[in-house]
Structure 1
Amino acid sequence: MKHIKRYQSTSLRTEKGEIIIEGPLSSIELEKYQFHDDLHAFRPAQKQLEALLGIADLEEGRIIICREGELIVGYVTFLYPDPLERWSTFAMEDLIELGAIEIAHPYRGLKLGSKLIELAMRDEMMENYIIISTEYYWHWDLKETKLSVWNYRKIMEKMMASGGLTPSPTDDPEINSHPANCLMVRIGKHVPQASIEKFDRLRFLEQDRLRSLRKGI
C-alpha cells in the first residue's frame, strides 16, 4: 500500500492570537519549530518531540500540528499500531491508529483538538484506512481538568466525532477493564469489505480464538 500524504493547512483566530493548523509534516519541517514545554502528557517535552520526529518519517506516519508562530502548541499522530498490541495481530496495512493527541494547557478550550482531527481527515487518503483510537481513562488529564471520568469521556467522544470516529464494541480485556475506556473507530469509504471483516475479527479476537479452539477439539 502506498501511503500518500497530502499537506493541508488552515488558520484559526483565537484569544491567543492566530493559530496555524497544518500537516502532515516531515521531521525536517517539524525541526523548524519550537515545542511547547507543556506538551509532556506522555513523556518529557523534548523526548516527545523526538518521538514525533521518528513518527513523521515512518512511511505511514502522520503528524498534524497546531502552532502559534514558531511554537508548536498541540499535535495529533497517526501510525500503525504498536507491534506488541493486539491491533497489529493481522498486520493490516490499511489499519492505522490515532496514537496521541495533546494540547498545551494554556491553549486548551480553543477546540484545537477537534480542529487537528478535522484537518487530518481532509486528506482523501484517509478514506483508505480503518482508523482507531484506544481511549484509556488513565491517560486522561483528570487531575488538571478536575473532570470526572465520564465528563472527560464525553469530551473525548465529541472531539473524536469531529473526525468521524465513533465508539465501537470490542472484547479487548484492557479496554473492558473499566467502563469509561472505549475503542473509537472510523472506517474510510474506500476500505474493502475483506478488511472490514478482518477488523471485525480483530475487535473480537478473544471470541475468535475461542471459536478456533472449539473447532480444534
Structure 2
Amino acid sequence: MTEFNTPLGTVIIEKHEKGDTLANLDIDPGLSNFRPYRRQKEALIDIANQPQGWVVIARLDNKIVGYVTFHPPDEFTRWGKARLPFLLEMGAIEITPDLRGTGLARKLLTEAFSDPVLEKYIVMSTEYYWHWDLKNKGMDIWTYQKMLENLFSSAAGMERVYTDDPEITSHPANMLMVRFGKELTPEQIEQFEILRYAGKKMF
C-alpha cells in the first residue's frame, strides 16, 4: 500500500486478492470505459476471486477511482488455450476522468509492477485500439498508441513485441506488450516465444 497526492486528495494504492475486500467499496461512475461502472465493480470482484487473479486499485476514501487487473489469459484466446501457468495478463487499466493527467496511471502501474510475485511471470497486455479513450484524450490513434507504449515501458518495464495473433494483426495500431519476470527459466521464455508465432497450426 502506498499514498499518492492528487488535487482531489490523497489516494491509496493497494492490492486486493479477495473479492470481498472490494465489495464494501464504492466505485467512481467515471470508471465506465469498458462496461457500466456498477458492472465494472462486479468484474473487479470476479477477477480478485480467481485463483491467479488480483486487482490493484487507487482508492480515494471509500471509492475506487482507478484500477489495474491481473489474471490468467482468457481460455478462448491463443494465450489461454496454451495453459502456461507462468503467463499472466494485465487485463485493463483505467483512471476516472477527474484524475487523468495527474500521474495516477503511472503511479498505479509502478506500484503494481513492483510486486515481487510478478518476477515469476510473463505479464502480457493485448492492446486493441477500439478500447482506447481517444475522444476524452483528444488524441489521434497513433499518438495514443505511442503514449500507451511509452507509459507501459517506463512505468511497468513492458516492451512491445511482434506476434502473428490475428486479433493483434487485424489493425496496425493494436499492440502486444510484454514484461518478462527475472525468475523465469529459458525454457519458459522459449515456450512463450513459440506461442507468439503459433498461427493456427497450434490449435
TM-score normalised over the length of structure 1: 0.89
Moved over 6 A (4+): none
Shift of 1:32: 2.5
Q: Distance in 2 between matches of 1:11 and 1:52?
A: 21
Match of 1:122 in 2: 114
Match of 1:186 in 2: 179
Shift of 1:58: 1.0
Shift of 1:177: 1.6
Match of 1:166 in 2: 159
**Mapped contact 2:161–2:178 kept (Cα < 8 A):** yes
Give the SS at the match of 2:124: strand
Match of 1:84 in 2: 76
Q: Distance in 2 between matches of 1:13 and 1:106?
A: 14
**What are the residue-to-residue correspondences of 1:1-217 with 2, within 5 Å?**
9-161=1-153, 162-206=155-199, 209=201
Gap runs ≥5 in structure 1:
1-8, 213-217
Query: Quick check: which has more Rg, 1 or 2?
Result: 1
Q: Distance in 2 between matches of 1:179 and 1:123?
A: 32
Give the SS at the match of 2:156: coil
TM-score normalised over the length of structure 2: 0.95
Q: Distance in 1 between matches of 2:9 and 2:49?
A: 30
Give the SS at the match of 2:66: strand
Instruction: Give a deviation string over 1:37-93, Cα, whole Å, max 9, x none.
Output: 111111111111111101101111010000111111000000000001111122000
Gap runs ≥5 in structure 2:
none
Q: Which amino acid aligns with 2:196?
A: R
Instruction: Give a deviation string over 1:91-141, Cα, whole Å, max 9, x none.
Output: 000000000111111110112222112111222110000000001111101
Shift of 1:158: 2.1
The percentage of aligned residue pairs carrying the same residue is 43
**Mapped contact 2:16–2:56 kept (Cα < 8 A):** yes
